Structure 1
Amino acid sequence: MRKSRAIFMVLLSIFVSVFLLTACGKSDSTMEPGVSNNTDSSKETIEKTLYTVTFYDMDGNTELSKEEVKESESAKEYTPQKDNYIFMGWYGTPSLTHKYDFSTPVTADTKIFAGFLEEKEDTRSFAVVGSGKSPILVTSNWGTVIDDSHILTKEAIENVYSISIDLYEGDEFQLATNTSWYNQRGAGYLTTTSQDGIEYFSGAGSNYQSNEAKRANIKSLKSGNYTLKLTTYPGADVYDTENSNYTDETKENFNSNPYDTIEWVYNGEPKDAIADVTTSYYIKSSITTNWNDVYEDKYRFKEIDGLPALTIELAEKEEFLFTSTVKTGDTENVGNEYVKFSNIKDKNSLEFVEGSVSDNIIAKAAGVYTFTYNPETKELTLTFKVK
């Protein structure tokens, strides 16, 4: 009898222990670091709540999967498959306005939405259009000429275009489908402008990451041979129909895409010799040329003592800058170099002019100005005398 009672008491003790150790509810118990699992009441356990992360299709309703995540931990990213669609990433809203950050700790039940694009073959042909000292850009003349040397090679089964090209410091270009610059892809499509702490490209006059910079020129900051790779998603092309110049005939001039990218690889020094280019500088003014590009001899800098110089009469408060042309052989094309107020560093020169908001130069007084420009240092100096 006593033996049976002893066995009963042992079984009862085991049952009570199991009952006390069994967790109830949707939580996960974790001991504090360094705390042993004993009955000391001063040693408390930390309970972490489990949250549900639900992955939805782009319609915002179709559930793709679920994941249980401990509080303050992160959800695991994965790539869903969908026939005839390309997965573009996970988003935090059903409108797909911003990407979901998988490094963000989960602190509540969370919904994540898949971004898919209809898979569509790109039948367009893209070319390099621009100007500079690169032989390809010299012949391009801002896209006036497009031949085989300018056209990117398209991969057989993907919407990926590539070209290897020599670029020199100061060269500017974009990618487009024809001489009218339809479907232009500029600096805003670059995935990066730097590598290993070195800046290789910039958006000419723009922040390359801004929406406005999508149509900005890509400016080369380091001479070398580059391989450019354009990836397109034509199913997501959009058109700026609100632009006052938009028409059905010219709609491709107002085409852009939120997903297209331009990647690049620096291959080292240029493979071909720099083009033999002669650069000339011309004044462009609010009064003298009525803001028109007038490439006449009277507005052109002429070499004096080894440097380009121009003497010209200007009115008080006349606003101006200097543009350029590049000449190879007998062909002269529009250049990409501009000389503005920021090119003036000399204190004496600054006594006679001031700068505008757009970095143009403004004459303080009416009279005769003589400008001298040093292409090597990019510095403009000037003298002034009353007529």
Structure 2
Amino acid sequence: MRKKVKSLLAAVLCLTMAAAAMTGCGASKEAEKVTVTFMNGEETLGSTETEAGKVLDPSAYDSYESAEDADFLGWYETPTYLEASLMDLTTATFTEDTTLYGCFQSNNMTEDTRAWYIVGTSAAGTLAQTNWAADVDDATKELFRLQPTGNEVNEFAITIDLYAGDQFQIIHDWNWDGQKGFGYVKEYDENQIVNGGGLSGNDNTSNINVNEDGNYTITLTTNPDDEAQDGVAIVRNGDAAEAEAAAVEEETYEIKENTGVKVKGSWVEDWSELKDLDKVSEGVYEITMDLAAGTELYFSVFEDDTDTGFGLKAENVTDDASKALLEEGYNVKVAEDGTYTFTIDLTANTIAVSK
């Protein structure tokens, strides 16, 4: 009798364990799903749901890789087609919902007839002559013009000696509409070229900073029909010529009857607002402003309403008391919230700051 009871208990235990195992299998967590969306500019081409961590089946996106009169160049995680965001969908996996942007280059691209220039600042090289697109003669502008390469439509290049500490951007027709800052740089060596920030904080308008002296070729490709496809490549060819250290605007400005000073800064995102300084004596101008910590300012000399290209920035702050109120940087940058008075002395080419 005992054997029968034991056998019965064993059978019940086995059935219970089997049932538990089956229940466990049935309750296993369903594989996580993610959605991948495909875009062409602002147009949604479609989307697909896939298992997280798995490579997409080509049938999920093949049909999105063609467009009338255009070549497909790849899928990117950024709408500006940054090189670092290029995705290889034959190997890529996704762990969260993702939007991909297809780069399509038209076979009938509009010819870019604009004149492109490198402009910026330098303490050692010829780039200083551009003074951030100051009012210079046409012969000087031509020295810094990118020339068509002839390799492909809308490709322009310049070879120039650049030095550590140089800052620059690429502009067309000697104005800042449609400037090409660091956000457009798609090919570079991070030991040689870095994001210099500036203006609105947007990478596309950030300065391009040089970390290493060298002779560089800067190549710009443009698509007037889709600015997001514009790109800059920066390649160091070798050593730069030995440069003579340039004087840092030690000369004073020749003050005229209609000379004035204006200030612009990061209190507006695109630095588009100019404020006039009051003339307090011959060659001395002043303004008082309520500013938030981190606000940057740049002072420009004007004749009537014409920017002369002569500017004053952080390097023109020379006294210790003024420097103590500022953070380090290219522009004048206040360290704390507060009411500041800036006094510009064009006879000495200096900025004094009080709070």
Please report the TM-score for the alignment, with normalisation by the length of structure 2. Answer: 0.51
Q: Structure 1 residues 228 and 206 mapped into 2: Cα distance closer, same or farther (>3 Å)?
A: same
Q: Among residues 335, 339, 347, which one is paired with 2:315 in the alignment?
A: 339
CA separation in 1, counterparts of 2:146 and 2:162? 16
Shift of 1:228: 1.4
- Contact conserved, 2:182 with 2:206, CA < 8 A, in 1? yes
RMSD: 5.8
Counterpart check, 1:171 vs 2:166:
yes
Give the residue type in structure 1 aligned to 2:236. Y
CA separation in 2, counterparts of 1:321 and 1:51? 49
- Contact conserved, 1:49 with 1:71, CA < 8 A, in 2? yes
Shift of 1:230: 1.5
CA separation in 2, counterparts of 1:192 and 1:73? 30
Give the residue type in structure 2 aligned to 1:277. A
- Contact conserved, 1:74 with 1:106, CA < 8 A, in 2? no
Residue in 2 aligned with 1:274?
243
CA separation in 1, counterparts of 2:235 and 2:74? 24
CA separation in 2, counterparts of 1:261 and 1:315? 40
How many aligned positions are there?
271
Q: Among residues 193, 196, 210, which one is paired with 1:200 in the alignment?
A: 193
Residue in 2 aligned with 1:246?
none
Q: Structure 1 residues 106 and 276 mapped into 2: Cα distance closer, same or farther (>3 Å)?
A: closer
Unaligned runs of 5+ in 1: 1-40, 237-256, 284-288, 300-311, 326-331, 374-379, 383-387
> Within 5 Å, which residues of 2 pair with 1:109-120?
114-119=102-107, 120=109
- Contact conserved, 2:144 with 2:158, CA < 8 A, in 1? no
Q: Among residues 230, 244, 247, which one is paired with 1:260 in the alignment?
A: 230
Residue in 1 aligned with 2:334?
359
Shift of 1:167: 0.8
> Within 5 Å, which residues of 2 pair with 1:183-194?
183-191=178-186
Unaligned runs of 5+ in 2: 1-19, 254-259, 263-275, 302-307
Give the residue type in structure 2 aligned to 1:359. V
Counterpart check, 1:223 vs 2:216:
no
Q: Deviations over 1:8-61 (max 9, x none)?
A: xxxxxxxxxxxxxxxxxxxxxxxxxxxxxxxxx989999997999999784656
Q: Deviations over 1:311-353 (max 9, x none)?
A: x99999999989799xxxxxx9746863377x88x6xx47x96
Q: Deviations over 1:235-258 (max 9, x none)?
A: 11xxxxxxxxxxxxxxxxxxxx33
Counterpart check, 1:123 vs 2:112:
yes
> Within 5 Å, which residues of 2 pair with 1:121-160?
121-124=110-113, 125-133=115-123, 135-143=125-133, 144=136, 145-147=140-142, 150-160=145-155
Give the residue type in structure 2 aligned to 1:74. V
Shift of 1:265: 1.8
Q: Deviations over 1:252-275 (max 9, x none)?
A: xxxxx33322221223321x3325
Aligned-partner SS, 2:112: coil
Give the residue type in structure 2 aligned to 1:87. F
CA separation in 2, counterparts of 1:186 and 1:90? 23
Q: Structure 1 residues 153 and 317 mapped into 2: Cα distance closer, same or farther (>3 Å)?
A: closer
Aligned-partner SS, 1:146: helix
Q: Among residues 77, 94, 103, which one is paired with 2:93 in the alignment?
A: 103
- Contact conserved, 1:175 with 1:185, CA < 8 A, in 2? yes
Q: Structure 1 residues 148 and 91 mapped into 2: Cα distance closer, same or farther (>3 Å)?
A: closer
Aligned-partner SS, 2:141: coil
Residue in 1 aligned with 2:266?
none
Aligned-partner SS, 1:104: coil
Give the % identical residues.
19
- Contact conserved, 2:297 with 2:313, CA < 8 A, in 1? no
Q: Structure 1 residues 267 and 49 mapped into 2: Cα distance closer, same or farther (>3 Å)?
A: same
Counterpart check, 1:233 vs 2:223:
yes
Shift of 1:127: 2.1
Q: Among residues 71, 74, 77, which one is paired with 2:55 in the alignment?
A: 74
Give the residue type in structure 1 aligned to 2:209. K
- Contact conserved, 1:73 with 1:106, CA < 8 A, in 2? no
CA separation in 1, counterparts of 2:51 and 2:289? 67
Residue in 1 aligned with 2:69?
84
Q: Deviations over 1:337-387 (max 9, x none)?
A: 63377x88x6xx47x9634994289569x9xxxx999xxxxxx999xxxxx
